[in-house]
Structure 1
Amino acid sequence: MEDVQTFLYFAYGSNLLKERLQLKNPSATVHCVARLKDYKLVFGNHKGFASDRWRGGVATIEHSQGDEVWGVVWRMNMSDQESLDSQENVMVGAYSPVELLVKTKGQELSCRTYIMNSCVYAPPSPQYLQVIMMGAEQNSLPEDYREKLRAIKTNMYEGPLPMMAELERERRRAKEREDCQ
């Protein structure tokens, strides 16, 4: 029997990385790796306003016949949905939550995900792309998809990003917890 207190969330950007998602959504647990058919991963900014958090374009998906986006399906408590919406700037209209079907081994799953509104294409910062790559590695997304991610051109931003320091602290804490077990 499915637990009605949880939902499935398909992550394809920085939330591929467990430590990133769990900063504000502690209930998130990996359900499976999946692919979204007929969509492609793109980077941009809502109405052209650059992300202060990431200093460059951020990930979104758009319909594209024949393409596919790989990601992670997370099972999350309903109590984290508001926090996830907040992280995705739903209230200010940057992203809209949608329900999409993703394919996994032998089945289709209906998952919540987010699509940017009024996207103006812009390259991601190297740091943002690094977080996506770390999540793709952590969850063993297909190697050919990781190769596509590695080929994405960045905006070459070299300044500091407080989010990167926060993620590093969280990754160290997670490693220490693992080592203690």
Structure 2
Amino acid sequence: MESHLTFLYFAYGSNLLKERLQLKNPSATIHCVARLKDYNLVFGNHKGLASDRWHGGVATIERSSGAEVWGVVWRMNMADLESLDSQENVRLGAYSPVEVSVKTQGQELNCRTYIMNCCVYAPPSPQYLKVIVMGAEQNGLPKDYQEKLRAIQTNQYEGHLPMMADLERAMRRAKERANHRSDA
């Protein structure tokens, strides 16, 4: 795989979950787990406008000396860049793409990630937090970091989220494919 045809993307929110990221970005393959130093994971809404998709605050990162955010580095085809930018509402100005340097097993990688503009703090919905926690478990983020994620207070929203149905279908399909492979 030629590197100029791919890019590295550091995910720290709902895109930790492979099935979530691959809904619109099928080329994404896990590269490694990594740590971003001097940043903190926070939740909020762009200009205070709640996410229709998640009914609560969504993840972003902000500079914070001594803090750290764990996430997944995905290798993706350049062809998926526009789709990823669209998912992050870059054109609407909700998030800006930035280059960050993350640490993994003794090496540093430069990755694309996204930071919310005009963030107004707001707790996430339980459903959104669940997707993040599932992604952290799926990719083996450090146990203490997973505990920290589980302890985040939510807004206790209990309504229906179409995104959760999409994800559950994608996860069922992935499980069925895995079962077919093990039967062969």
TM-score bucket (shorter structure): over 0.9
C-alpha deviations, 1:67-116, integer Å up to 9, x for none? 00000000000000000000000000000000000000010000000000
Q: Distance in 2 between matches of 1:3 and 1:134?
A: 29
Query: 1:119 is matched with which residue?
Result: 119
Query: 1:149 is matched with which residue?
Result: 149
Shift of the alpha carbon at 1:2? Answer: 5.2
Give matches, 1:88-167, under 5 Å. 88-167=88-167
RMSD over equivalenced CA pairs, Å: 0.8
Gaps of 5+ in 1: none
The residue identity in structure 1 corresponding to 2:10 is F
TM-score, reference length from structure 1: 0.99
- Hey, which bits of structure 1, 4+ residues long, moved more than 4 A? none
Query: 2:30 is matched with which residue?
Result: 30
C-alpha deviations, 1:116-150, integer Å up to 9, x for none? 00000000000000000000000000000001001
Gaps of 5+ in 2: none
Query: 1:176 is matched with which residue?
Result: 176
Q: Distance in 2 between matches of 1:3 and 1:154?
A: 39
Shift of the alpha carbon at 1:3? Answer: 1.9
Query: 1:7 is matched with which residue?
Result: 7
C-alpha deviations, 1:152-181, integer Å up to 9, x for none? 000000000000000000000000011111
